Amino acid sequence: MTIYNSLSPPAPKRKTARKGPGRPEGTGDNASERILDAAEDEFAETGYTGTSLRAISQKAGVTQALINYYFGSKYGLYEAVFIRRGRVVSDERLRRLNQLKQQTDPITVEQVVRAFLEPTIALREEPAGRRFLRLQARLHTEPAEISYRLRNEAYDISTRAFVNTLLEICPSLSAKDVNWRMALTIGAYMYAFSDTHRLDELAPTECDPNDTKEVIEEITAFVTAGLSAPPVYPR
């Protein structure tokens, strides 16, 4: 099994900073990246509603005016934080899925599951990635107008591609079955990858949720079995 640890996101595309009078002090020296890192940390800990631009500016060592200069608003900053890593994960999923489609052997459900899950679990290898996973888990508790839009923007294309592939390789499953099972897969991996420490409490000596290989093998087996189960709504 190959786990990639190099899902470091490229700098997100943002509007070109304005030039001329009114440009805040502090631009340059990777100021925008420091803002993104500080915002990711704050949003992951306290959520969108509970986070203030003041707290982010203090952590990043910049002024609130500079945050607005680069990102326009609190929501603009939140969007940039989420898309920065979310789109990298989505693109890596599609790359792996396309690789599977080029192989000569039939695609298995387990291979599809691994292609979907492994780009996300790779994020657990770095503190910044773990912060993003906590942020992603929190997204589902944020206002619908925020969470729906960002989920769709980051993941809609890749998730639909995986649904279509599962429909092709699981001919007994209806679209209703596959979509339900994909949604349950997402819920399972988000809980497992988000450092809830619940497993530490339930089975402190038997299970090691910090062991990446153990986590991916267990959730792959669980999700593969669920996707391969007999249909609830046959075609």
- What pTM was computed for the model? 0.82
- Name the E strands within the chain: none
Q: What structural domains and CATH numbers belong to the chain?
A: 84-228 (1.10.357.10)
Q: Measure the N-to-C terminal CA separation of the chain; round to a whole number of Å.
A: 34
pLDDT for residue 2: 45
pLDDT for residue 124: 83
Q: How sure is the predictor about 175, in pLDDT bands with cuts at 50, 70 and 90? A: very high
pLDDT for residue 144: 86
Mean pLDDT of 46-51: 93
With a pLDDT cut of 90, the percent of the chain lying above it is 63
**23 or 162, which is more confident:** 162
Alpha-carbon distance 171 to 184, whole Å? 19
Instruction: List, in order, residues 6 or more apart from 128 with CB less than 8 Å away.
Output: 37, 40
Kindly report, residue by residue over 91-131, the tens digit of the pLDDT.
999 999 999 999 999 999 999 999 999 999 888 888 888 89
Average pLDDT, the chain: 87
pLDDT for residue 4: 42
Decide: residue 168, CB within 10 A, 0-12 exposed, 13-18 middle, 19+ buried. exposed
